[in-house]
Chains A and B, each alone.
Chain A
Amino acid sequence: MLLTNTEEIPGKKIMAFYGVVSGSTVRAKHVGRDMMAGIKNIFGGELKGYTELLQESRDEAIDRMKSQASQLGANAVVNVRFSTSSVAAGAAEIYVYGTAVSVE
């Protein structure tokens, strides 16, 4: 599955459009990580646990989008966009969407 965030795939021709596909995950951090983040809020610096968590959930959202695209018979997704929002205190939603297409 080819993914790009440009409107077309460089060097390839788009044959058919299948419409918008998307994938999302909502994840919460466990208490230990929350406590570590609380301590880090005094010292400052990177919250490695949160970086990893968001990266994992982003990968999962991409996987969900990919499986939706392959169900439609597409072999590429163009114009991929990410969005992150904190739904509740301690949980973040990752949303990925794009246009499913088939290329030669």
Chain B
Amino acid sequence: MKQIIIFAVLLSLGYFFGRRAEKKHYQSIIEREEQMISLPTTSSKKVAHDKREIDHCQLVNGSMVVSVDYFKRILAKLRNFFGGNVQSYETLIDRARREAVLRMKESCPEADMVINLRLETSSITKGKKNQVGSVEVLAYGTAIYFL
């Protein structure tokens, strides 16, 4: 009985706080993405279609470590049983990726362009039985400053 109560409390805590945090985070991501739209980012290796002369360039990076909540972990466990898209983890990693790119852009507000964007994902702490505990996303690229 005691265990069921603890489980239910953890589940509802995860559900309410996790939902709220995710909603808030998505809102701020969308807002900041609109602000940073003037800084184009590409994954190509060269500056294409631009005749301006390059002043200097610089390596920039941004990262975020994000953790799953209890509710999502239970959902993922259920999914593991039935198979299919684990949507609760998809939104989690999507959030982390967009945040990492935003942080990278925010670290060089004066740049004119970011080329050769690379994204890397790694799980930092493994939970019990090889379940995802927290995920780190790193975004890095070369910021170009025109004359």
Contact, CB under 8 Å: B144 / A10:
yes
**On chain A, which size bracket covers the interface?**
20 to 34
Q: Is A26 in the interface zone, CB < 8 Å from B?
A: no
* Distance between Cα atoms of A82 and B10 in the complex (Å): 36
Size of interface on B: residues with Cβ below 8 Å to A: 49
Contact, CB under 8 Å: B58 / A44:
no
- Least CB separation from B11: chain A residue: A42
1/0 contact trace for B109-147 toward A, CB 8 Å?
Answer: 000000110101011111100000110101011101000
Q: A11-B53, A43-B13 are known contacts. Are A90 and B59 too (CB-CB below 8 A)?
A: no
Q: Secondary structure of the A side of the interface?
A: mixed
Contact, CB under 8 Å: A46 / B142:
no
Q: Is A3 in the interface zone, CB < 8 Å from B?
A: yes
* Distance between Cα atoms of A80 and B143 in the complex (Å): 13
Q: Secondary structure of the B side of the interface?
A: strand
- Least CB separation from B10: chain A residue: A42
A61 to chain B, nearest CB (A): 11
Give the contact stretch, choosing among B31-39, B60-68, B78-86.
B60-68
Contact, CB under 8 Å: B66 / A6:
no
A residues less than 8 Å from B47 (CB atoms)? 10
A21 to chain B, nearest CB (A): 14
- Least CB separation from B13: chain A residue: A42
Q: Interface residues, chain B, CB within 8 Å of chain A?
A: 10, 13-14, 17-18, 21-22, 25, 45-47, 53-59, 61, 63-72, 92, 99, 115-116, 118, 120, 122-127, 133-134, 136, 138, 140-142, 144
